[in-house]
Amino acid sequence: MGSRPAAGGGRWVDVDPERLPRWVEGFAARHGTPEPTTADFGITLRAPDGAVAELHAPPGVTAYTDLSTFQSATLESRLLGLLLARKGAVAVGIALGDRLTASKVDTSYVQSRTAAGGWSQQRFARRRENQAKAAAGDAADLAARVLLPAAGELAALVCGGDRRTVDTILTDRRLAPLAALRADRHLQVPDPRHAVLLDAAKAARAVEIHLPPE
């Protein structure tokens, strides 16, 4: 379980589905038995003392009508596609629950920025842009090989890393079936490696809970 500040105030707490019932019990113990209501994003808990917790459904979870069915749905194993990218590094995988059933990691060289100016800077910028385009193309090839064959079975595609890089990769026409499955959740990850991909599989199935300022 992790915690991080939320834009606009409050904080986010990530809870594994297996630990969600205990988290809800703790929330009730601290604030009183809450009244759950369904929302577009998941479930809202409103406690007698005014405390609120917004439980955001993991990607691929849609069939729930109340807190009980929400908790049950989060525990179900879903096939998720993972696409993580940052600069010239990309990691793609397919996860069933928190277990990877397929994965591939690749790194392409993209030069860092330079402080030089003039024509040298312009040549560098063009070279870097070409390198970035080539890296995005390689990443799209990788996604096509690993993810595209399973597109019809995926509950969602969860992306992470540099959002602009991911956006560029998904503009490849071959990946349109994957782009249509892209979840709203975007994972914040370091440079993609196999270990990062494993952590992403777990983060993709977590329940994100927004706790507004009290």
What pLDDT shows up at residue 214? 77
At residue 122, does pLDDT exceed 70?
A: no
Helix (H) or strand (E) holding 156: strand 156-161
Q: Between β-strands 156-161 and 182-187, what pairing exists: parallel, antiparallel or unpaired?
A: parallel
Q: Say if residue 106 is in the same domain as residue 199.
A: yes
Q: Is residue 92 located within the same domain as residue 63?
A: no
Report whether 54 contacts 210 (CB < 8 A).
yes
Q: Would the pLDDT of 147 be above 70?
A: yes
CA angle (153 as vertex; 152, 156 as ends), nearest 5: 95
Q: What is the CATH number of the domain that holds 145?
A: 3.30.420.60
Q: What is the pTM of this model?
A: 0.86
Helix H or strand E segment including 107? strand 99-107
pLDDT confidence band for 114 (50 / 70 / 90): very low
Q: Check whether residue 143 and residue 192 sit in a common domain.
A: yes
Give the helix ranges, DSSP H, for the chain. Answer: 20-31, 67-75, 118-146, 163-169, 176-179, 194-204
Nearest to 82 by CA among 110, 63, 104: 104
Q: What is the pLDDT of residue 120?
A: 57
For the cut 90, the answer to whether the pLDDT of residue 66 exceeds it is yes
Q: Are residues 184 and 124 in the same domain?
A: yes
Residues 48 and 152 in one domain: no
Q: What is the pLDDT of residue 27?
A: 98
Q: So what's the pLDDT on residue 3? A: 82
18 versus 112: the higher-pLDDT residue is 18
Q: Look up the domain containing 33 and give its range.
A: 2-77+206-211
Q: How confident is the model at residue 42 (pLDDT cuts 50, 70, 90)?
A: very high
pLDDT of residue 133: 58
d(CA 165, CA 87): 7
Range of weakest confidence among 12-26, 36-50, 104-118:
104-118
Domain count, the chain: 2
CA distance 71 to 42: 10
Shared domain for 45 and 129, answered yes or no, is no
Amino acid symbol at 88: G
Q: Which DSSP state fits 69? A: H
pLDDT (mean) for 27-53: 97
Task: Give the separation between CA 53 and CA 13, rounded to whole angstroms.
Answer: 10
* Domain identity same for 49 and 90: no
Q: Are residues 85 and 181 in the same domain?
A: yes
**Do 90 and 192 fall into the same domain?**
yes
Q: What's the pLDDT tens digit per position in 43-63?
A: 999 999 999 999 999 999 998
Q: For position 137, what pLDDT does the model report?
A: 77
Return mean pLDDT, the chain.
89
Residue 91 is encoded by which pair of tokens?
């990691």
Residue 36 has pLDDT above 50, yes or no: yes
Residues 30 and 84 in one domain: no
pLDDT at 15 over 70: yes
Instruction: Say yes or no: 59 and 112 in one domain.
Output: no
pLDDT tens digits, 187-202 = 999 999 999 999 999 9
pLDDT at residue 8, as a whole number: 86
Is residue 38 classed exposed, middle or buried when 0-12, 13-18 and 19+ CB atoms within 10 A define those classes?
Answer: middle
For residues 94 and 40, membership in a common domain is answered with no
